[in-house]
Chain A
Amino acid sequence: MMVGARALRGAVALAAAALLAACGSDSGNTGGGGGGGGGQPAALEGRGEITFVSGKDTSGNMQKLIDKWNTDHPTEKVRIVELPESADGQRQQMVQNAQIKSDAYTVLNLDVVWTAEFAANRWVVELPQDQFDLDNYLKPAVDTAKYRDKLYALPVYGDGGLLYYRKDLLDQAGLQPPKTWTELIAACQKVRGLPGTENMGCYAGQFEKYEGLTVNFAEAVQSAGGTIVNEDGTPAVNSSQAKTGLDTLVQGFKTGAIPQQAITFKEEEGRRAFQAGQLLFHRQWPYQWALANKTDGSSQVVGKFDVAPLPGVNGPGSSSLGGHNFAISAFAKNKATALDFIKYFSNEDNQRSNLLATSQAPTRTKLYEDSELVQKFPYLPTLKASIEGAKPRPKAVKYGDVTAAIQENAYAALTGTKSADQALSDLQKKLEELTKQ
């Protein structure tokens, strides 16, 4: 009995400790936060050693670029702090660091959707816009780094959705890649008439209940001319356009154009299905290009596919923006060094080397037109078009709650537990609650 009770208490205490570790309960004002009101941001001062906090450096190129920086700046060395691979895990560590106001993290590699939360909580400092050549960056990418028109980060990696399609089959059926959803369905029906493709899935995206569903839902709504949250931050998801967008996906599932199992698809499940030749069209990020072209036998569609912009309802569709922005922690020392480091990391040479090493899309416009790069990554022009027509996901301080509400209702509509109308009006109500001030 004693053993049981003690073990139990220990277990609960551990759980409680884990919870508590996440919160430094101190209140009071932060020092060195981004300037309030209007005016110029506070000057970024201090030089010396800093840390660069990021997800896994899978290619080793990050370390290479930092080694070069360290040789050139022996007194302002940068050290990489590697965080977990999952985005949630990364955010959690960065939030914990901010909660205890630790100076252990200097430069933060933020997912584009975290900017608003980190800026509004004063966890990152405002950056001087005039010190960056923002005109040379893709505009929508720069937009993701802003909160209330102030710059809090610099976009370094971009990402946009592409429509992967089976070029061999479309050619065989004598078709061009579809520009609208109707064309896509028609093309699929025609291709399914070809021998051996009767059971092929028409289309899939990421429909599992996670961040990917938010991305795909946002794209469906935008591609129908709707929006989730207006420019001024008010939710506007209960519109006829949004309904048309959501309905395309709902109908896709109902008619079987989107295979049933796609409701369990994240990026990788969908990629496997596309590589196994089970999908005609697939909404996916650029990373699939290299993997689906791998000639080690893992892909059955090597050289048989191409990419096009996402289809819309009446014209080309609009992608959700992905990617990463670099920001400076409000609690860090040596912010001047950090600013220089961000500038260095995102200069043209380094973005090029990053693209070559990791195939992560750059944010500098010029690189998308570089003939050498386009030859190596033929999808670049399409990706540029995708990103230029892309919209950021809702910029919300409580992004975690916002995306949860979107996933909840979109998932209910796709699985048929709610009608599209009901899902959208529920979502509108929930978003109004979450964004009211």
Chain B
Amino acid sequence: MTTTAQAPPGEAKPQRKSSPKMSPQGSGKLAALLLSPTFVVLALVIAYPLISALRESLYRREEGVDESGFVVEGERFVGIDNYTAIFQGEVADRFWNAFVNTTMFTVVSVAIEIVIGVSMALVMHHALRGRGLVRASILVPWAIPTAVSALLWQWIFQSDGVANAVIGQQVLWTAEGQQAFWAVVIADTWKTAPFIGLLTLAGLQIISTDVYEAARVDGANAWLTFWRITLPLVKPALLVAVLFRVLDVLRMFDLPYVMIGARKSSVETLSMLAQDEATNLRYGPAAAYATVLFVYVVLVAFVFVKLLGADIIGEARTRRKEVKKRAPVPAPSTAQAGVGV
């Protein structure tokens, strides 16, 4: 994916310059004109809501009641008060709890999903007969709307449900406590490991069989082949899948909300805080929570791309060089990059 994305810009530039019919300036104007509808749409659906959410987060609705019992109307500018309120007193405890929950969900579920997803991909890659059927059936959980799968799992995890019948113990999964956290992790893994599996499978399928043959000739065993060849080569695809999943889990809402319930401190996430404020008509604080979550997500995405994304490009370059040199596999540099995962 990265390799193909990398190549065209380098080759495209000289081509454009060599075209004598259009001056660079004119083509720039035309490009701007042709792109303008896209920009207008982007401004409408991305910039406008973002800016007005930011604006909203600086206001607070009047909350008092006048003498005859009516709510005082209007809203007033409160500056960054909505933000500072998040980090003070009881509210801060709730915020940090939600922050930790959100982060833990992200780390734990994505880690489990990577292991299961990659295993699924390997199975699907090797299954020769009925591969289509296996692939389709693995995709089923991913195709189910989250709220629906949350209801399904709620049934499984209720006190007289299947989960308790299987383990033969009475665990109150949906009550407050550690077990609720794990119930959400299990349901989330069930739903989204197939996503990682499918993207990884796509990555596996573009690995040329030559490399594997070479490995076999060199006498590499199955584990070594996986660790030194499959994993490094599938890494770009896997990283994209993981990034998507991380961003997805950071804004997790429906699964804990539907399955476990609102305002349960063991599973409350940052999105649930924003929703809770909004349903109680405090749109300013709700927008502030949403903005804090937004900043957190951007930060994580940035760090992720900076740390691992740089690696993707570096690895792609080494790989190209290696192919040219027909270097023996496994090459030391690839192995190092692989350990980086």
A residues with CB within 8 A of B: 1, 3-5, 7-17, 19-20, 22-23, 25, 27-30, 36-37, 88, 91-92, 95, 119-122, 147-148, 208-210, 260-261, 263-264, 269, 272-273, 276, 397-398, 400-401, 404, 407-408, 411, 415, 417, 437
Listed A/B pairs (18) with beta-carbon separation below 8 Å: A3-B240, A4-B244, A13-B45, A15-B271, A16-B49, A16-B53, A16-B294, A17-B49, A19-B274, A20-B52, A23-B283, A208-B174, A209-B176, A209-B261, A209-B264, A210-B261, A261-B160, A269-B159
> Who on chain A is nearest to B301 by CB?
A8
Residues of B near A9 (CB, < 8 A) are 46, 50
Taking a contact as CB atoms under 8 Å apart, the answer to whether B172 and A264 are in contact is yes
Task: Determine if B319 is an interface residue (Cβ-Cβ < 8 Å).
Answer: no
Residues of B near A15 (CB, < 8 A) are 251, 271, 290
How far, in angstroms, from A20 to B278 measured CA to CA in the complex? 9
Taking a contact as CB atoms under 8 Å apart, the answer to whether A95 and B301 are in contact is no
Known contacts A15-B271, A25-B56, A120-B70: A404-B263 contact under CB 8 Å:
yes
Taking a contact as CB atoms under 8 Å apart, the answer to whether A19 and B278 are in contact is yes
Taking a contact as CB atoms under 8 Å apart, the answer to whether B71 and A263 are in contact is no
Residues of B near A23 (CB, < 8 A) are 56, 278, 283
Contact with B261, one of A20, A30, A119, A208 (Cβ below 8 angstroms): A208
Within 8 A of A (CB), among B292-315: 293-294, 297-298, 301, 305, 309
Taking a contact as CB atoms under 8 Å apart, the answer to whether A397 and B271 are in contact is no
Taking a contact as CB atoms under 8 Å apart, the answer to whether A27 and B74 are in contact is yes
Residues of A near B170 (CB, < 8 A) are 260-261
Cross-chain pair count, CB within 8 angstroms: 145
How far, in angstroms, from A20 to B69 measured CA to CA in the complex? 27
Residues of A near B305 (CB, < 8 A) are 1, 4-5
How far, in angstroms, from A27 to B298 measured CA to CA in the complex? 33
Residues of B near A408 (CB, < 8 A) are 263
Knowing that A23-B278, A148-B69, A209-B262 are A-B contacts, what are 15 other residue pairs whose CB atoms are under 8 Å apart, sorted by A's residue number? A3-B240, A4-B244, A5-B305, A12-B297, A13-B47, A13-B50, A15-B290, A16-B49, A19-B278, A37-B68, A92-B279, A119-B69, A264-B173, A269-B159, A400-B280
Residues of B near A88 (CB, < 8 A) are 279
Task: Determine if B158 is an interface residue (Cβ-Cβ < 8 Å).
Answer: yes
Task: Determine if B59 is an interface residue (Cβ-Cβ < 8 Å).
Answer: yes
Q: How near does chain A come to B241, taking the closest CB pair, in angstroms? A: 11
How far, in angstroms, from A8 to B65 measured CA to CA in the complex? 40
Task: Determine if B114 is an interface residue (Cβ-Cβ < 8 Å).
Answer: no
Q: How near does chain B come to A279, taking the closest CB pair, in angstroms? A: 12
Contact with A11, one of B63, B243, B247 (Cβ below 8 angstroms): B247
Q: How near does chain B come to A403, taking the closest CB pair, in angstroms? A: 10
Residues of B near A13 (CB, < 8 A) are 45-47, 49-50
Taking a contact as CB atoms under 8 Å apart, the answer to whether B261 and A19 are in contact is no
Contact with A122, one of B70, B160, B173 (Cβ below 8 angstroms): B70
Within 8 A of A (CB), among B47-76: 47, 49-50, 52-53, 56, 59, 63-65, 68-71, 73-75
Contact with B158, one of A1, A25, A210, A269 (Cβ below 8 angstroms): A269
Q: How near does chain B come to A430, taking the closest CB pair, in angstroms? A: 9
> Who on chain B is nearest to A407 by CB?
B263
Residues of B near A8 (CB, < 8 A) are 247, 297-298, 301
How far, in angstroms, from A411 to B243 measured CA to CA in the complex? 37
Contact with A22, one of B45, B49, B70, B283 (Cβ below 8 angstroms): B283
How far, in angstroms, from A424 to B64 measured CA to CA in the complex? 25
B residues with CB within 8 A of A: 45-47, 49-50, 52-53, 56, 59, 63-65, 68-71, 73-75, 158-160, 170, 172-176, 240, 243-244, 247, 251, 261-264, 271, 274, 276, 278-281, 283, 286-287, 290, 293-294, 297-298, 301, 305, 309
Residues of A near B286 (CB, < 8 A) are 19
Contact with A7, one of B56, B173, B247, B309 (Cβ below 8 angstroms): B247
Taking a contact as CB atoms under 8 Å apart, the answer to whether A148 and B251 are in contact is no
Contact with B176, one of A260, A411, A437 (Cβ below 8 angstroms): A411
How far, in angstroms, from A217 to B75 measured CA to CA in the complex? 35
Residues of B near A122 (CB, < 8 A) are 70-71, 73
Taking a contact as CB atoms under 8 Å apart, the answer to whether A19 and B283 are in contact is yes
Known contacts A4-B240, A25-B59, A260-B170: A397-B71 contact under CB 8 Å:
yes
> Who on chain A is nearest to B51 by CB?
A16
Taking a contact as CB atoms under 8 Å apart, the answer to whether A25 and B75 are in contact is yes
Q: How near does chain B come to A99, taking the closest CB pair, in angstroms? A: 9
Taking a contact as CB atoms under 8 Å apart, the answer to whether A120 and B69 are in contact is yes
Taking a contact as CB atoms under 8 Å apart, the answer to whether B243 and A4 are in contact is yes
Taking a contact as CB atoms under 8 Å apart, the answer to whether B46 and A19 are in contact is no
Taking a contact as CB atoms under 8 Å apart, the answer to whether A19 and B53 are in contact is yes
Residues of A near B264 (CB, < 8 A) are 209
Nearest first, the 4 closest Cβ-Cβ pairs linking A and B are A261-B159, A27-B74, A16-B53, A17-B49
Taking a contact as CB atoms under 8 Å apart, the answer to whether A12 and B73 are in contact is no
Taking a contact as CB atoms under 8 Å apart, the answer to whether A27 and B263 are in contact is no
Taking a contact as CB atoms under 8 Å apart, the answer to whether B71 and A10 are in contact is no
How far, in angstroms, from A337 to B160 measured CA to CA in the complex? 50
Residues of B near A36 (CB, < 8 A) are 68, 70
How far, in angstroms, from A200 to B160 measured CA to CA in the complex? 15
Known contacts A264-B175, A437-B65: A16-B50 contact under CB 8 Å:
yes
How far, in angstroms, from A296 to B244 measured CA to CA in the complex? 48
Q: How near does chain B come to A21, taking the closest CB pair, in angstroms? A: 9
Taking a contact as CB atoms under 8 Å apart, the answer to whether B56 and A28 are in contact is no
Taking a contact as CB atoms under 8 Å apart, the answer to whether A120 and B271 are in contact is no
